[in-house]
Amino acid sequence: MGTSVDEQLDSGQAMSIRTKLLSWYEKNKRDLPWRRERDPYKIWVSEVMLQQTRVDTVIPYYERFMRRFPTLEDLASASEEEVIKAWEGLGYYSRARNLHAAVREVVASYGGKVPDDREAMRRLKGVGSYTVGAILSIAYNQRVPAVDGNVMRVLSRLFAIEGDITRTATRRRMEALAAELIPEDRPGDFNQAMMELGALICSSSSPECARCPLHRECRAYEQGRVKDFPVKRKGKAPVPVSVVFGRIVDEEGRILFEQRPKKGLLAGMWGLPTAEREGDESPQARLERYCAEKGIAIEPGPVLGRVEHVFSHRRWQGVVVSGRASAGPRSLPEGWRWVSEAELNSLALPKVYEKALSADQYPVQLELALKIEN
């Protein structure tokens, strides 16, 4: 077990870390659009988008989102479908739903002003300790830690922390340590500097210790054990699941879509009819049976292609089957709809369904995004 925070950190060491890190940050920080802001709403949006997503990927989405919803009130007054459409392609769609619900709560309960109180922020939907720390330190200049994956990696190496970073106790220990390090005068810059150091220098696979401004303070470097940190238990491999996607059209050329359940994988998103397969049942037979269970009669056709998509805990191994709606009168159950080609552009679709819709053009698709889109 490691030593306590008090034993690890003295005032001279803390001052050295602050001074060196902030000096490095001033010279090396990236020019990112949200860093030109002190608007808590815009900082909030950027921090939510950056969860589980690379900075380079986020920038165009952030800029487009801000053009569409330039103020918190604009986002609060939008429909969920508009918000999801603006988020389309970023994945992890629960982030967008939680953000949308939270800004509506800010309008309803706080007069449209993002709270500058730690406890009030934590009560908002989807807002955790990291997001609270980022907003309060950057927008409101409060001395609150913001500990994300990059910061945990830096702290674990800096102090050779043996605790598993997936454990709550280890995270709390790191938050306490970060709180001790934050200077009174520049808390937002310090938090961003820690994140930037983890992103640019203290990377997980190839840390550049010779370029690190803190290598003289780093215990892992001193011990020659940088690659041993952070300590993290291995997660379970995604479970393979065989599925069939239906690309079913009617006599007008419209495509059949279903809305997924409100909870679970791709919750509430629109997509092609999707059924899990077991045993030796053919993809066509499984799709026909699935639609029949919903009261929809179809005539399945040939296989158009295959789509593989990896979520954080599931690996969909999909077969895309063509089909036509059977002739005669028909009605659709709740949560199902026919969508014309023109309407497709306005429908927010998870990436896996974009791939499935193009399966006839690209017979074998492989998506290794390693993200859960719900």
pLDDT < 70 positions in the chain? 1-8, 328-329, 361-374
| Domain boundaries 239-367, corresponding CATH code | 3.90.79.10
Q: Which of 47, 196, 258, 288 is catalytic?
A: 47
- What pLDDT is recorded for position 329? 58
Domain boundaries of the chain, sorted by first residue: 5-228, 239-367
Is there a common fold for 5-228 and 239-367? no
According to the model, what pLDDT value does residue 89 have? 87
47 is catalytic: yes
The amino acid at residue 9 is L
Q: What is the pLDDT of residue 5?
A: 45
Q: Which long-range contacts (CB under 8 A, 24 or more apart) does 132-139 make?
A: 133/191, 134/43, 134/47, 134/191, 135/40, 135/43, 135/44, 135/47, 137/182, 137/187, 137/188, 137/190, 137/191, 138/38, 138/43, 138/188, 138/191, 138/192, 139/38, 139/39, 139/40, 139/43, 139/114, 139/188
Q: Summarize pLDDT for 169-207 with one digit per residue, the tens.
A: 999 999 999 999 999 999 999 999 999 999 999 999 999
pLDDT value of residue 361:
57
Q: What are phi and psi of 250, to 5 degrees?
A: -105, -175
Give domain 5-228's CATH superfamily.
Hypothetical protein; domain 2 (1.10.340.30)
Q: What is the pLDDT of residue 8?
A: 56
The position carrying tokens 């800004």 is 103
